[in-house]
Structure 1
Amino acid sequence: MKQKHEVVCFGEVLWDVLPTGALPGGAPMNVAYHLQKLGVNAAMISRVGQDDRGEQLKKVLQQNGLSLEYLQTDEQHETGVVNATFRPNNEVLYDIVFPVAWDFIEWNASLQNLVEESTVFVYGSLAARNEISRKTLFKLREAAHKRVLDINLRPPHFNTELIEDLLRNTDIVKLNDHELDFITQSHHSNSVIEDKIRFLQDKFSIPVIIVTRGSKGAILCNEGQLFNHGGFKVTVCDTVGSGDAFLAAFIYKSLKGARPDEQLQYANAVGAFIASRQGACPEYGQEQIEEWINGIVVPD
């Protein structure tokens, strides 16, 4: 009997080309990776090119317990690449190559069945930048039981109409404070962050909104109730993928039935831990995260 995938992640798989070298990445793949690390059976829907980078990504997925069954191969387009450069204050600038294989994810019945049989469907705004993948995403979104949207505003890969469509049709939204400011600027340019969150929740009828704030932690608005966590202080190696680890940890705790404040604390801890390591998908185990939360220094 085929094992059920509790969470399905849809979208980009790629190589983050950093000054220090190339590392596997892509927000939904990072989320799937961290879910697997946390003991959640996750599936990845994406597409790679028929090239060396695609073959290497397949190996990475397999090595981390992710099935290749839902990873399509594109004979015309290359595997995705993002050229990342670092600026002061740990800010990362991304050059996201377009078009690439993950822009052309094709719908089929097996993907529909996969999503229908899962509990959570995770996807980002970036995966909707091209019509082919966008149509597939929207069809799968209709089949999902709980939809989790990761807003990722990377110019020029989005427009207002697309973002509003995504916001209107989801159950949980994660975005950072800068993205919140951008989306609400015409309505609440001078408001405090809590007012902006409530405005977004009311305007688009979103049950759960999570706003990450970098070193300031994160705010969770669950059905109108606000929770704030100041984050964990760490020596940052790089912030690539820390938000994806945060989201995976939040989903993990929500599946376990944890209280909203517990979900937020755990997500902050995992996000901080990943920020203290190089790349989006470093090696770690659940026990290290528990030690981190308990204030124990995690050995290198």
Structure 2
Amino acid sequence: MNECLPIYIFGEVLFDCFPDSEPMLGGAPFNVAWHLQAFGANPRLISAVGADDGGQQILAKMQQWGMDTQSVIVDAQHETGRVDVTFADGEPQYDIVLDAAYDHIDQRCLPVPSGEHLLYHGTLAARCTTSRESLGQLRTWPGQKAFIDVNLRDPWWELDWVRSEVHGGHCVKLNRQELILLSAAEHEPADQEALKVLARNFRLANNIANLIVTQGADGAFLVDEMGDIISHSLPPQARTVVDTVGAGDAFSAIVILGMLNNWQWETVLERAQQFAGFIVTQQGAVSDNPAIYGDFKCLWGMR
């Protein structure tokens, strides 16, 4: 891949509503697009917002950040997406409001890419028929490398559909529990070696080129196209975790950035964990401070 490769990001944009603060911009695809824009990758977000104050705010924020809004539909029939976030034992719990604008991304409004490109999508935005059909249309584009970010949110996922969607993906990212669920494993892996065997088998069975398994504070590993395992865990760091919302999206954004810049996989995993580790020190999934992204670019020797 190369850094000039067109990037299309499909899925939800919404507001994360926390118990004790103002609503904050969110949605995994939006978060990934926001980070990539800050790192100079110029993605195009394919989504929908309502014809309401929230939708206007999202479009204004995107324009201020320099993001492409051509493929963000304004839907007069449905409200801008919202998630009510609560915490149990430090882990976020999500009440994802149904029938939001992003559930109705109309395929008549989809862009038509030419040539090689990267398509990122998750699984939440395909919970309703209209957006699922649009995603199906996107996945037929020729010259595509698909990055599927598995994001299982009960009750908004179906085992057979998710399995069919990850099949043949260029890069699939999921966490340990999602791997176990999608593999329909009869028993929890007894140790790391058993988990890696499960990941190898899942990659092979689903014709996935590169499979990434995240494990929170325990790091992440990748099963590459040859079936080899590449692992990287950052040393423990003294940091105050404010919330973990958006950490996985930050990780995904840096994986895509590394793919565009042809970083070695070990470097990709290291930097993805570095950036995700920063995101958990602030409330909300993204930062609107360009200097933060500039610091990481400097740290990583990027132009």
Cross-structure match for 1:149: 148
CA distance in 2, matches of 1:97, 1:286: 31
Cross-structure match for 2:107: 107
- Whether contact under 8 Å (2:243, 2:283) holds in the other structure is yes
| 1:125 counterpart (99, 123, 126) | 123
> Secondary structure of the equivalent of 1:143?
coil
- Whether contact under 8 Å (2:5, 2:260) holds in the other structure is no
CA distance in 1, matches of 2:244, 2:17: 14
Cross-structure match for 1:56: 57
> Secondary structure of the equivalent of 2:110?
helix
CA distance in 1, matches of 2:30, 2:8: 10
Cross-structure match for 2:283: 278
| 1:228 counterpart (228, 231, 250) | 231
Cross-structure match for 2:16: 16
Q: Tell me how large the CA RMSD over aligned residues is.
A: 1.9
Please tell me the residue identity of whatever aligns with 2:295.
Answer: Q
The number of residues matched between the two structures is 288
Are 1:289 and 2:296 counterparts? yes
Deviations 1:146-193, CA, capped at 9 Å, x for gaps = 100010110110111111111214211111112112222435534521
Query: Which shifted more, 222-231 or 180-189?
Result: 180-189
**Structure 1 residues not aligned, in runs of 5+:** 295-300
| Higher RCO (C-alpha 8 Å, min separation 6) | 2
- Whether contact under 8 Å (1:124, 1:152) holds in the other structure is yes
Which of the pair is proportionally richer in helix?
A: 1
> Secondary structure of the equivalent of 1:227?
strand
Return the offset for 1:132: 0.5
**Structure 2 residues not aligned, in runs of 5+:** none
Q: 1:215 to 1:292 in 2, by over 3 A?
A: farther
Are 1:212 and 2:211 counterparts? no
CA distance in 2, matches of 1:174, 1:35: 17
Please tell me the residue identity of whatever aligns with 1:229.
Answer: H
Cross-structure match for 1:263: 268
Seq. identity, %: 36
CA distance in 2, matches of 1:7, 1:82: 26
- Whether contact under 8 Å (2:213, 2:220) holds in the other structure is yes
CA distance in 2, matches of 1:92, 1:281: 16
Return the offset for 1:5: 7.0
Please tell me the residue identity of whatever aligns with 1:174.
Answer: K
Cross-structure match for 2:169: 170
Please tell me the residue identity of whatever aligns with 1:268.
Answer: Q
Q: TM-score scaled to structure 1, two decimals?
A: 0.90
Cross-structure match for 1:247: 252
Query: Which shifted more, 150-159 or 281-290?
Result: 281-290
- Whether contact under 8 Å (2:5, 2:118) holds in the other structure is no
CA distance in 1, matches of 2:176, 2:270: 18
